[in-house]
Amino acid sequence: MPTSNRILNLFVIVFVFIAKLHSISCSAIFSSDPYAQQQLDRISKLPGQNFNVSFAHYAGYVTVNNESGRALFYWFFEADEDPSSKPIVLWLNGGPGCSSIAYGLAEEIGPFHIEEDGKTLYLNPYSWTKAANILFLDSPVGVGFSYSNITNDQLNNGDKRTAADNLEFLLEWFKRFPQYKGRDFYITGESYAGHYVPQLSQAIVRHNHKNGEVIINLKGFMVGNALTDDFHDYLGLFQFMWSVGMISDETFKQLNVFCDSQSFIHTSGPCDKVLDIADEEIGDIDMYSIFTPPCTANFNRFSRLLKQKKKVGLIRRAYDPCTEQHSTVYFNLPEVQNVLHVHKKNSPSKWETCSEEVNENWKDTPMSVLDIYRELIPLGLRIWIFSGDTDAVIPVTSTRYSIDALNLPTTSPWRAWYDDGQVGGWTQEYNGLTFVTVRGAGHEVALHKPKQALTLIKSYLSGNSMPKLKQVSDL
């Protein structure tokens, strides 16, 4: 670290220390100089981190609405190497109600993952910080450490407010990190973020157009196992469950009769009944990764606590409840929250991986976001959709039906892609959209296939097709 940098850090540490001595609460520390505020958000070392890292990282709040006092929590990691030349990738988890810190950061693409003890960190060798600067955002309010100062405001969330607040977040975030203004910017996410990601992209495009400015230099977006179009997603889900042999012929038929035109997150009574029958038939498996054992098989001491009712179409729980347990312990440690600059007085009293309250009170959810794809594809954004092919929540068949509904001409036909000589999955390129499957990955692709997921983000950011099998002559 250059000396000047170290002095600046020292200054910040002393400043924070003095502020604490004078018992000014953390939230009162605010500097109007963006670089000073940035340094206040900087994290030196986390509890349980027994190693040094080469990259800088920052966490804190950005106010997205002054009147209500809505503030979103972010954690930003500079790329391992050469951050000043790399793009920024924003990662969003879905739910609705799930934390991007809990899933994206701590068990998928982030540099820090948590050991079984819930106290110790280890470095993820396949972190996406090897390819880009990564910004994790907990949205909307009521999720993770994000909050609103209006009582029970976590009951007023929906797709519309989430997109508007996330746009506000980015505009304010770039004020705090002005050195990144205009940098190539990409949005990624999975599951219900299949709504958030295109909706935020649309909001940015419209904002840039209206204001004639490109502070947020959006170049494209990529979503995985993404809720896209309720009709086609359900069609594909029922077909997937039937074809892998999880449900009976009779239930398959009934699902297609009673559930085919339903909203994915708010189902009707008759459809619910058939979904319950399907649940019974499926038995106790992990819908997020159908060929791997559920957590209860390995961690009997937790089984009673965690045995939640599994439900077809439930998209908030993530693959491994055991992994979730580790982050629930870690992010509830007061010493961890201090280092992360959490506003303890205002943020939700207990940190949860997913908020049921947010999920159950969701206000607006369109049945389809395909219209946004139709609006954005002609603008030349780089749009990729990927799918872990052993997920039975939003399976590969759902995504294929949804893409098919866009009627895009094929530019490069279906083929296998390779990772170290093995088929990593399959890919097809359309005019304006690239589709990639990841073989053997569940709902959280980077959790199950971290190496292949890193290959995916590298190909995406470089603008190249997924790797082909290297011919002997190439070697």
Residue ranges in contact with ligand NAG by CB under 6 A: 27, 51-52, 63-66, 69, 71, 149, 168, 172, 346
> Which residues have CB under 8 Å from 37's CB, separation 6+?
30, 31, 176
Of 213 and 260, CB closest to ligand NAG:
213
Backbone phi, then psi, for 139, in 5-degree steps? -140, 155
Output the smallest distance, CB 305 to ligand NAG, in A: 33
Output the smallest distance, CB 208 to ligand NAG, in A: 17
- Cα 335 from Cα 46, distance rounded (Å): 9
Instruction: Give Cα separations from 394 to 98, 344, 386, 427 (angstroms).
Output: 16, 35, 11, 18
* Residue with token string 């369109």: 366
Of 121 and 287, CB closest to ligand NAG:
121
The residues with which 65 forms a beta bridge, in sequence order, are 70
Of 3 and 51, CB closest to ligand NAG:
51
Burial pattern 68-96, b for ≥16 Cβ within 10 A else e, equals eebbbbbbbbbbbeebeebbbbbbbbbbb
Q: Which of 391, 402, 448, 459 is catalytic?
A: 391
Q: For residue 163, which amino acid is it? A: A
Output the smallest distance, CB 98 to ligand NAG, in A: 22
* Residue with token string 């001409």: 409
Residue 127 catalytic?
no
Of 63 and 465, CB closest to ligand NAG:
63
Of 60 and 236, CB closest to ligand NAG:
60
Output the smallest distance, CB 245 to ligand NAG, in A: 50
> Which residues have CB under 8 Å from 61's CB, separation 6+?
27, 71, 72, 73, 74, 145, 146, 341, 343
How big is the CA angle at 49 (ends 47 and 50), to the nearest 5 degrees? Answer: 130
Contact at 8 Å (CB) between 223 and 369?
A: no
Output the smallest distance, CB 419 to ligand NAG, in A: 31
Instruction: Give Cα separations from 251 to 230, 257, 283 (angstroms).
Output: 19, 10, 14
Output the smallest distance, CB 342 to ligand NAG, in A: 13
Q: Which of 100, 191, 289, 355 is catalytic?
A: 191
The closest residue (CB) to ligand NAG is 69
By C-alpha distance, which of 56, 358, 387, 5 is closest to 191?
387
Of 68 and 465, CB closest to ligand NAG:
68
Output the smallest distance, CB 172 to ligand NAG, in A: 6
- Cα 141 from Cα 64, distance rounded (Å): 10
- Cα 224 from Cα 235, distance rounded (Å): 18
Residue 191 catalytic?
yes
Output the smallest distance, CB 160 to ligand NAG, in A: 16
Catalytic residue ranges: 191, 391, 443
